[in-house]
């Protein structure tokens, strides 16, 4: 008897009912509750199809036309397609689409640009920076010497912005080899030109971590920070790293674009410096996402993401919350809970909202007195809900649901009633994969 692949490997539903049940429950959670985590989104069916494609079967160490395995003629075409689309999307001189994640992209950039122990200037972790921007529990803080800049004190609508004077003073004092800009919990646009000027004054390189805002950049609602090594002085970043999910709405993964000056160093750092075989099925899905991001409707989508964030921020303020920096320019809202209720922590609020079917994450606010595990804030984002088609009216309703949930956070029955309201709302806006 000849057994085919379908006999040896039946579908998950047939072969693994336990896992199939869990996947079904997660599908219900994603489609039946509000997804307000700023770093999450819903991909298209085409991205899902590419991610689950037969390309997962192929090993392809190296780069197109420079592989260490045979049989990569079509794999090379896939990766070239992704690289060329990415260069066109950001006007980049070079692109690498192999990083498995945003953290890998940052690790590769550091490997390419720095020697172990080099000094790096990056945003304070408790004021918006990322783990890979020097956390002592992360490789970045263990292999390099990070010093920090932060944001100004709260001062109405003009406070809690990146303090360029503080950045310049730290740069002149510590003489870093690299200045990192970009953040994981900073709701305002970051102007890279003054950072470039500071870097040039001390001979440093500039890395822009666009993990959160890559989609906004591609959609034309956030300035492109990437500079050029051709035709005069570089006024932007030398290297830009990012994730391909979040606002870019692609598969989970990372990518790097850079000026031609750093192309060879970046490629060598990704492979063989950091990773082995690339995930070509994920790279195919990245190619799909880059193509989708080049379409006019993607620009409209990103405009709606930002508009929804502004409406949600304003509505949350009406509910009694303080919005860090007085608002948002992006997809992200950072909420200070202390004005709403000084006894309410981010951890407690996140858990209560989970029971109400509203998914978000706790987050430190600038100059927070609570630990990163407890926090005094919440972080909300609008990419996923905008993907489902929700607009300004729904954002106002969501803010009301958040306020009501947290005022009645100790009443499980009340939270369950909110969850039912959330379910009704979500049923009118099914995510693309489930529509």
Sign of the Cα pseudo-torsion (351, 357, 359, 360, in order): negative
Residue the block writes with tokens 């608002």: 327
Residue 133 annotated as binding site: no
373 labelled binding-site residue: yes
The backbone torsions φ and ψ at residue 414, rounded to the nearest 5 degrees and listed phi first, read -65, -45
Each residue's pLDDT tens digit, 139-175: 999 999 999 999 999 876 679 999 999 999 999 999 9
Return the percent helix, strand and coil in the chain, to nearest 5: 50, 15, 35
- Residues recognised as catalytic: 59, 61, 209, 243, 246, 252
Residue with tokens 């082995």: 276
Question: Tokens 């953290």 identify what position?
Answer: 103
pLDDT at 284: 98
Cβ neighbours for 4, distance < 8 A, ≥ 6 positions apart = none
pLDDT in tens, 81-104: 999 999 999 999 999 999 999 999
DSSP annotation of 190: P
- 113 annotated binding-site participant: no
pTM for the whole structure = 0.95
The pLDDT value recorded for residue 406 is: 98
Domains of the chain (ranges plus CATH)? 52-294 (3.40.640.10), 300-428 (3.90.1150.10)
Which residues of the chain are modeled with pLDDT < 50? Answer: 1
Are 35 and 398 within 8 A, CB to CB? no
Can you give the pLDDT at residue 8?
56
Whole-number pLDDT of residue 1: 45
Alpha helices in 114-227 (DSSP H): 139-143, 164-174, 192-202, 214-218
pLDDT of residue 234: 83
231 is in an annotated binding site: no
Task: Please answer whether residues 198 and 167 qualify as being in contact, where contact means their C-beta atoms are separated by less than 8 angstroms.
Answer: yes
Distance of CA 32 to the CA centre of its chain: 23
The span from the CA of 366 to the CA of 381, in Å, is: 18
């Amino acid at each position: 008897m000849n057994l085919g692949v379908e006999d040896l490997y039946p579908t998950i539903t047939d072969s693994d009912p336990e896992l199939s049940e869990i996947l079904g429950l997660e599908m219900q959670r994603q489609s039946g509750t509000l997804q307000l985590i700023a770093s999450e989104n819903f991909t298209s069916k085409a991205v899902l199809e590419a991610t689950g494609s037969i390309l997962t079967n192929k090993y392809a160490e190296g780069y197109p036309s420079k592989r260490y395995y045979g049989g990569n003629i079509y794999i090379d075409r896939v990766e070239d397609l992704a690289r060329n689309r990415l260069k066109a999307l950001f006007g980049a001189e070079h692109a690498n689409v192999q990083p498995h994640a945003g953290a890998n992209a940052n690790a590769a950039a550091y490997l390419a640009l720095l020697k172990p122990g080099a000094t790096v200037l990056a945003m304070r972790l408790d004021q918006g920076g990322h783990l890979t921007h020097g956390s002592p529990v992360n490789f970045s803080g263990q292999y390099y010497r990070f010093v920090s800049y932060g944001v100004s004190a709260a001062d109405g609508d003009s406070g809690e912005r990146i303090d360029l004077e503080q950045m310049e003073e730290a740069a002149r004092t510590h003489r870093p080899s690299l200045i990192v800009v970009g953040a994981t919990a900073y709701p305002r646009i970051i102007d890279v030109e003054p950072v470039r000027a500071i870097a040039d004054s001390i001979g440093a390189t500039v890395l822009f971590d666009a993990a959160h805002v890559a989609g906004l950049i591609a959609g034309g609602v956030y300035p492109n920070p990437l500079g050029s090594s051709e035709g005069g002085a570089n006024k932007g970043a030398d290297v830009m790293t990012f994730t391909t999910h979040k606002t870019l709405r692609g598969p989970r993964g990372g990518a790097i674009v850079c000026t031609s000056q750093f192309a060879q160093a970046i490629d060598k750092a990704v492979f063989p410096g950091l990773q082995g075989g690339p995930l070509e099925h994920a790279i195919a899905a990245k190619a799909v996402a880059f193509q989708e991001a080049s379409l006019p409707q993607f620009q409209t989508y990103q405009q709606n993401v930002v508009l929804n964030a502004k409406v949600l921020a304003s509505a949350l303020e009406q509910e009694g919350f303080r919005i860090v920096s007085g608002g948002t320019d992006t997809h992200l809202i950072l909420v200070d809970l202390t004005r709403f209720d000084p006894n309410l922590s981010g951890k407690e609020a996140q858990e209560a909202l989970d029971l109400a079917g509203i998914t978000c994450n706790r987050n430190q606010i600038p100059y927070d007195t609570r630990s990163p595990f407890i926090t005094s804030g919440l972080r909300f984002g609008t990419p996923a809900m905008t993907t489902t088609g929700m607009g300004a009216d729904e954002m106002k309703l969501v803010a009301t649901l958040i306020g009501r949930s947290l005022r009645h956070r100790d009443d499980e029955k009340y939270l369950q009633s909110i969850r039912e309201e959330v379910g009704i709302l979500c049923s009118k806006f099914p995510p693309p994969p489930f529509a």
